[in-house]
Amino acid sequence: MLATPPLSLYVHLPWCVRKCPYCDFNSHQARGALPFAAYVDALVADLDHDLPLAWGRTVQTVFFGGDTPSLFPADAIDAFLQAASARLRFAPGLEITLETNPGTAEHGRFEHYRAAGVNRISFGVQSFDDGCLQRLGRIHDGAQAAAAIKLAQDAGFDNFNLDLMYALPEQTLAMAERDIERAIALQPAHVSHYQLTLEPNTIFAARPPAGIPDEDASWDMQEHCQALLAEAGFAQYEVSAYARPGRQCAHNLNYWHFGDYLGIGAGAHGKLTLGADQSILRRWKTRHPADYLAKAGSAAAIGGDEAIAPLRRPFDYMLNALRLVDGFALSEFEARTGLARSAIAAELATAVERGWIRIEDDHVAPTELGQRFTNDVISLFLAD
Ligand SMILES: C[S@@+](CC[C@H](N)C(=O)[O-])C[C@H]1O[C@@H](n2cnc3c(N)ncnc32)[C@H](O)[C@@H]1O
Ligand code: SF4
């Protein structure tokens, strides 16, 4: 039987100051004044349209993400949060995260976000090295990133994340370590450490920059940086996520535990368990901001609806849960996919045999080898 998992709310704000050459997110370069008020109206209409999928449920986390939500004035964030909390019950003290490009931070902004209810900030720092930042086409330098973080701290945000990338063009192991050391010195609660990937349909994929470290060098960086983070009290809990005790990202944890989420905004994806008909629905919205603005609130704004068929569920579940260092409980697999554990017994046995996972009682966790080859482990669960 499918049980109803916790519900999160993801809100996509689709504009950036400038498109970064490595980025394949649904982000659009802002040209001229942005229609903040109209976009908030569209978000609320979109939420109203999706509400029947989540009647009576409590929102456990909110995440404003995707692009550069910090381009949005605090009153726009406030207006949306007020409208959303009037429509859906918000759990007391729920985590509300706002992604921020350090190049858009300005004095006074963070106080207002805080007053609007935001209680966690995620900074897209990427690196503190000015040469690396330039090669990545970022709009800020290392000093600006540090200054933006200081502004947030002064506004009372101690729960903040720093996104860093490694295996950057021309980056050495010492440079990657230096980035981690500079991040730690700023006392974040959380660090996300992503290996740069060349995503299809990006400028970097079409013309790969020179000097990208190879797989062995990248793995070395990951291991050394992980050790530095561990020494400083940041435990790795997911492939790319490290947190101080109690500071894991509740929103992302809900994704990784195959929880539910409403996806509101241009190109946003949602996943909802519909208990009444024992199905799991994926729904995504039309991607282009102008199109979304014109259609939000009507069926025309829905880019697609797709039921996750039972055969597909093991793969979708593992795609998330096997990223977690602590793994998952088989009882959770059963509740969230509606399948018996016997449906994956053969694949689990193969993964154990290859040394990729260990199983103790109800619990499955990746081994160190499994953590290194996450994609291989996950692909075992692809239905033929
Ligand atoms: C959705 S982005 C939002 C952050 C914000 N827009 C910014 O860039 O400042 C979240 C994070 O994904 C990471 N990311 C984006 N593209 C990536 C790529 N091609 N490879 C690895 N990590 C990437 C970056 O660290 C980025 O901060
Ligand atoms: S990396 Fe961030 S700032 Fe750069 S284009 Fe992508 S979403 Fe926008």
d(CA 136, CA 19): 10
Tens-binned pLDDT, residue by residue, of the chain (384 aa):
899 999 999 999 999 989 999 999 999 988 888 999 999 999 999 999 999 999 999 999 999 997 676 688 999 999 999 999 999 999 999 999 999 999 888 788 999 999 999 999 999 999 999 999 999 999 999 999 999 999 999 999 999 999 999 999 999 999 999 999 999 999 999 999 999 999 999 999 999 999 999 999 999 999 999 999 999 999 999 999 999 999 999 999 999 999 999 999 999 999 999 988 889 999 999 999 999 999 999 999 999 999 999 999 999 999 999 999 999 999 999 999 999 999 999 999 999 999 999 999 999 999 999 998 999 999 999 987
Out of 99, 190, 201, mutate this one to test ligand 1's pocket (max ligand atoms within 8 Å of CB): namely 99
Task: Give pLDDT, residue 67.
Answer: 63
Q: How far is the CA of 201 from the centre of ligand 1 (A)?
A: 15
Question: Ligand 1 atom closest to Cα of 102?
Answer: 9
Q: Is 122 in the pocket of ligand 1 (CB under 6 A)?
A: no
Q: Pick the residue whose CA is nearest to atom 6 on ligand 1.
A: 67
Q: Pick the residue whose CA is nearest to atom 6 on ligand 2.
A: 23
Q: How far is the CA of 328 from the centre of ligand 2 (A)?
A: 31
Indicate whether this model's pTM tops 0.95: yes
Task: Give pLDDT, residue 69.
Answer: 62
Question: Ligand 1 atom closest to Cα of 20?
Answer: 8
Question: Ligand 2 atom closest to Cα of 139?
Answer: 3
How many CB atoms lie under 10 A from the CB of residue 4? 16
The tokens for 19 are 């498109």
Q: How far is the CA of 44 from the centre of ligand 2 (A)?
A: 24
Question: Ligand 2 atom closest to Cα of 23?
Answer: 6
Q: Is 68 in the pocket of ligand 1 (CB under 6 A)?
A: yes
Q: Which residues of 108-139 are buried (b: 16+ CB within 10 A; e: fewer)?
A: ebbbebbebbbbbbbbbbbbbbeebbebbebe
Q: Is 208 in the pocket of ligand 1 (CB under 6 A)?
A: no
Out of 11, 16, 23, mutate this one to test ligand 1's pocket (max ligand atoms within 8 Å of CB): namely 23
Ligand closest to the CA atom of residue 125: 1
The tokens for 219 are 């793995």
**Are 121 and 151 in contact, with CB atoms under 8 Å apart?**
no
d(CA 211, CA 200): 19
Which is nearest to 239 in space by CA: 183, 179, 193? 193
Task: Give pLDDT, residue 32.
Answer: 85
Which is nearest to 80 in space by CA: 304, 296, 301, 302? 296
- Full DSSP string of 178-229: HHHHHHHHT--SEEEEEE----TTSHHHHSPPTT---HHHHHHHHHHHHHHH
Which is nearest to 74 in space by CA: 43, 48, 95, 105? 105
The tokens for 202 are 């990006």
Q: How far is the CA of 271 from the centre of ligand 1 (A)?
A: 22
Q: What phi and psi, each to the nearest 5 degrees, are found at residue 219? A: -65, -40
Q: How far is the CA of 208 from the centre of ligand 2 (A)?
A: 18
Task: Sort 254 into a burial class: Cβ within 10 Å, 0-12 / 13-18 / 19+.
Answer: buried
Q: How far is the CA of 124 from the centre of ligand 1 (A)?
A: 7
Task: Sort 193 into a burial class: Cβ within 10 Å, 0-12 / 13-18 / 19+.
Answer: buried
The tokens for 231 are 């020494």
Ligand closest to the CA atom of residue 163: 1
Q: Pick the residue whose CA is nearest to atom 25 on ligand 1.
A: 163
Q: Which residues of 258-272 are buried (b: 16+ CB within 10 A; e: fewer)?
A: bbbbbbbbbbbbbbb
Site residues for ligand 2, CB cut-off 6 Å: 16, 19-20, 23, 25, 27, 67-68, 101, 124
**Are 193 and 225 in contact, with CB atoms under 8 Å apart?**
yes
Q: Is 70 in the pocket of ligand 1 (CB under 6 A)?
A: no
Q: Are strands 7-13 and 260-265 parallel, antiparallel or unpaired?
A: parallel
Q: Pick the residue whose CA is nearest to atom 4 on ligand 1.
A: 124
Task: Sort 212 into a burial class: Cβ within 10 Å, 0-12 / 13-18 / 19+.
Answer: middle
Q: What phi and psi, each to the nearest 5 degrees, are found at residue 379? A: -70, -15
Question: Ligand 1 atom closest to Cα of 101?
Answer: 9
> Could you give the angle at the alpha carbon of 247 between the alpha carbons of 94 and 366, nearest 5°?
115
Task: Give pLDDT, residue 277.
Answer: 84
Q: How far is the CA of 193 from the centre of ligand 1 (A)?
A: 10
Q: Pick the residue whose CA is nearest to atom 26 on ligand 1.
A: 124
d(CA 338, CA 9): 23
Q: Is 306 in the pocket of ligand 1 (CB under 6 A)?
A: no
Ligand closest to the CA atom of residue 99: 1
